[in-house]
Amino acid sequence: MKDKNLNIKCCERYKNRVEHLLALDDNHPERMEWTRHSHSCALCREVIAADEELNRLVRSLPEPRPALVAGAVIARIREGRNPAPIKRRNLIWALGGSLMVGFIIGIGLNAILPKYNLINTSFDTGNYLVEYDDGLDDLYTALLTESEGDTK
């Protein structure tokens, strides 16, 4: 947002355009013309010198350190460094720790939860299969008879 109360002392020729000129790249033709003009105008020379000093100070500021893990990862990617390799020893400790935690949770759940018989032992699988077996023999015989008749 442009500051309407910008009070920069500059010569009459450039005073209405100074904010625009400061925003331009140094190689822009308008900015180069203003720089050439500043060799003969003390007011414009002071503005350009102040702008150059401000840019120098901004460039000299240290780069902010990443505060989050994602920022650190992005910084490493920008630097071209590979992420730290996973060491076999650390992987073994992590898996062993996970197994131990799972084992302890299992023991705790076994002690806390009531004993339920999750398998229905009164279910008779023999009778269940017999119910669906009715008619299969007749179907099989009919199919065999029909296929034998096709081959004769």
- Residue 132 has phi, psi (to 5 degrees) of -90, -10
Domain ranges for the chain, please list them. Answer: 18-60
Note down pLDDT in tens along the chain; length 152 residues.
444 545 667 788 877 888 888 888 889 999 899 889 888 888 888 888 888 888 888 888 877 665 666 777 777 777 776 666 777 888 888 888 999 999 888 888 777 776 665 555 555 555 555 555 566 667 777 777 776 665 55
What is each CA distance from 19 to 4, 13, 58, in whole angstroms? 10, 13, 18
Identify whether the C-beta of residue 14 lies closer than 8 Å to the C-beta of residue 37. yes
- DSSP H helices, 2-113, are 18-23, 29-38, 42-60, 69-79, 88-112
Joined tokens for residue 122: 């009164």
CA distance 29 to 97: 67
CA distance 21 to 35: 10
